[in-house]
A = this chain, B = another copy of it.
Amino acid sequence: MTSQFTVHGRLWIEAADGTIIGHGRVNLLEKIDDLGSLSAAATALGMSYRYAWKLVKSMNEHSDKPLITLSSGGRGGGHAELTTTGKEAVATYRRTDQEFEQFLSQQTEKLPE
């Protein structure tokens, strides 16, 4: 018999300066990687271009090496790409998050009925 209870949670990674990489930012990085365009990635996530651009700027400024390169071409016309550092950040977050999902399932199984 399974428990009537389930364990849930939220996870994020903080840099020493307090910057946060969580679900939202990782989703944006992945969409940029998929679509090669910040404008298209923002649209796909229902996010304004301005907000997506601010997130990218913040992530690049707070990392030792940039996570995303933006080439010129103006709004909607430019190309966006993840750097190796950006791809590693996504992979690290996804691996951690996957182990977190396993942890939540294990904890749910341990709960009393």
Q: Which residues of A contact B (CB under 8 A)?
A: 4-16, 88, 92, 96, 99-100, 103, 107, 110-112
Contact = CB atoms under 8 A, between A and B. Distances in A.
**Copies of the polypeptide in the assembly:** 2
5 contacts: A4-B16, A5-B13, A5-B15, A8-B14, A96-B111
A58 to B, nearest CB: 16
A7 B10 CA distance: 11
B15 A8 contact: no
Given A103-B100, A110-B96, A11 B15 contact: no
Contact of A9 (B9, B88, B107): B9
A99 B107 contact: yes
